[in-house]
Structure 1
Amino acid sequence: MSVPIDAARKFDPARAGEYETQSRIALAGYDACHELSACMLAAALGSGGPAEILVAGAGGGAQEIVTAGPLEPGWRFTAVDPSAPMMELAVARLRETGLDGRTEIFLGTVDDLPADRRFDAATLIGVLHHLPGDDAKRAILRSLAARLKPGAPLILAGNRFAYASQPLLLAAWGQRWRMKGATPDEVEAKLSKILQGADPPHSEEAVADLLAETGFGPPTRFFSSLFWGAWLARRN
């Protein structure tokens, strides 16, 4: 997960260390989402060839790269994240899996990349709902569009409802934590935190509008889990 500098401050070393475990509870189907993201990119690009993939939000377990790398040995990755603790975890995971030699590490934001860099594809997974307001969401999507070749696919994944607008999904999300051993007080604290701590697009239509406003074509949704959705859209 990667966010611009202001939002990235909340991913301190303590939170970074628990990120992978927490993410797999918060998102039922965490691994499936990443696997299908890799499959969708391979289907869009064609399998077996070389490609340069921009991974915006690689911090944590670098799961996008760890999953896609073995599927497509010809792909090379540029991992971008402004959080040093999160990037340290990503680098360690890439070394463990032998993918560090195919990955360029970039500590910073997408805007900090050279303006003339162009990629064959990009991913933005678990980022957009951490950006407050539509202007910030448009800004990162425009930055990605500016660094993609025409027709290049973007994998976008994240939460896509205002949490309070979906009380049944919110209650089921709390039950998911209870299923994984959280006490009633812990569940209540997590529900309070999610209601206060993020600003997702308020609908799937809002996601499509953000993409249309920032240089992308209509999205195809390929994964859904409670609040979460994942889409592929191509740069115009």
Structure 2
Amino acid sequence: MDVQLARRLIACNSAFYRDHAASFSATRSAPWDGWQRVAEIVQDTFACAEQRTVLDVACGNLRFPRFLFSRAPQQAWRCVAVDNAPQLAADLPSDGSVRFVERDILGGLLDGTDPLGDIPTCDLVVSFGFMHHVPGGSLRRALLDSLAARVSPSGLLVLSFWQFMDDARLSAKVRVADEGARRAGWPTDELEAGDHFLGWQDDAQARRYCHHFDETEIDALAGHLAKHGMHECARFSADGRTHALNRYLVCRKGGS
């Protein structure tokens, strides 16, 4: 994808989350169903009760750290939460268990730097609801490079891939938003396969870029992670009315 188009798509999403932080966060309070299985895998992997660290990239309103801490309290978790929308993560736990880092992850990658390079490696690295906002295959692979580098030996990387075009209700909304984007002057013919737009509630001007992942693409990304010694140990679908809205990929560094 053209770098300037990628930057424009990223700016579109940054503006969306800045302008709609309150209404978006208000509809995002419950944990995802798929996190239950993630927690089971985490508990099986880190069985001993000792302090563990988690890096949550694109943390949003900190739902996952809160869920993880409540689901596995015996492990004294500490979290580094990274996002470029601090207004979403304004309510940090008072016990100091979560450190928030404001970071323009995609902008840094496009500039040729590793925006997570100063963060220590962690036992668990997660990114939920973010991969579909990363424009272009090359930028998605660069993000995976950065995430894999932050995983400790024998640690886990867990990602979610949104498959919204498989949902009839969402795909209908996408068609409307795609047409609206085209009329608004977006060069939709320059987007990659799987690239779309989604609106928000009743705001006709609200627009965010999203990418739909099919299984072939997830296979390719898992293969890319394998180059970093990240070996797939689980893949499953969960979430939404169909229980298949997200595809989860779990990889272990040095695992087999």
**TM class by shorter-chain length?**
0.7 to 0.9
> Which structure shows the bigger proportion of residues in strand conformation?
2
Structure-2 separation of matches of 1:114 and 1:47: 28
- C-alpha change, 1:191 and 1:235, in structure 2 (3 Å) is farther
Structure-2 separation of matches of 1:114 and 1:76: 18
CA shift for structure 1 position 23 = 4.8
Say if 2:133 is the partner of 1:130.
yes
Say if 2:172 is the partner of 1:170.
no
- C-alpha change, 1:103 and 1:129, in structure 2 (3 Å) is same
Structure-1 separation of matches of 2:36 and 2:141: 26
Q: Partner of 1:183 in structure 2?
A: none
Say if 2:229 is the partner of 1:220.
no
**More deviation, 132-141/217-226:** 217-226
Query: Aligned to 1:153, which of 148, 151, 156?
Result: 156
Q: Partner of 2:34 in structure 1?
A: 33
Q: Partner of 1:105 in structure 2?
A: 100
Q: Partner of 1:67 in structure 2?
A: 67
What stretches of structure 1 of length at least 5 have no aligned partner?
Answer: 164-168, 175-187
8 Å CA contact retained: 1:160, 1:229: yes
Structure-1 separation of matches of 2:47 and 2:19: 39
Say if 2:128 is the partner of 1:144.
no
Residues 16-39 of structure 1 deviation map (CA, whole Å, 9 limit, x = unaligned) = 212244457xxxx95322333233
Structure-1 separation of matches of 2:237 and 2:31: 10
CA shift for structure 1 position 234 = 1.4
8 Å CA contact retained: 2:116, 2:146: no
Q: CA-atom RMSD, angstroms?
A: 2.8
- C-alpha change, 1:207 and 1:32, in structure 2 (3 Å) is same
SS in 2 for 1:112: coil
Q: Partner of 1:233 in structure 2?
A: 251
CA shift for structure 1 position 8 = 4.6
Query: Aligned to 2:24, which of 19, 26, 33?
Result: 19
SS in 2 for 1:135: helix
CA shift for structure 1 position 147 = 1.3
Residues 96-146 of structure 1 deviation map (CA, whole Å, 9 limit, x = unaligned) = xx4x51111100045333447211110010111111111111111110111
In the TM superposition, 1:199-218 aligns within 5 A as: 199-201=211-213, 203-214=214-225, 215=228, 216-218=230-232
SS in 1 for 2:68: helix
> Which structure shows the bigger proportion of residues in helix conformation?
1
| Letter matched to residue 67 of structure 2 | T
Structure-1 separation of matches of 2:40 and 2:250: 11
Q: Partner of 1:185 in structure 2?
A: none
8 Å CA contact retained: 1:141, 1:211: no
Identity %: 20
What stretches of structure 2 of length at least 5 have no aligned partner?
Answer: 1-8, 106-113, 179-195, 198-208
TM-score, length-scaled by structure 2? 0.67
SS in 2 for 1:145: helix
TM-score, length-scaled by structure 1? 0.72
Query: Aligned to 1:77, which of 69, 76, 79?
Result: 79
Structure-2 separation of matches of 1:19 and 1:198: 15
Paired residue total: 201
Greater radius of gyration (CA): 2
Structure-2 separation of matches of 1:67 and 1:49: 18
- C-alpha change, 1:47 and 1:229, in structure 2 (3 Å) is farther
SS in 2 for 1:84: coil
- C-alpha change, 1:7 and 1:41, in structure 2 (3 Å) is farther
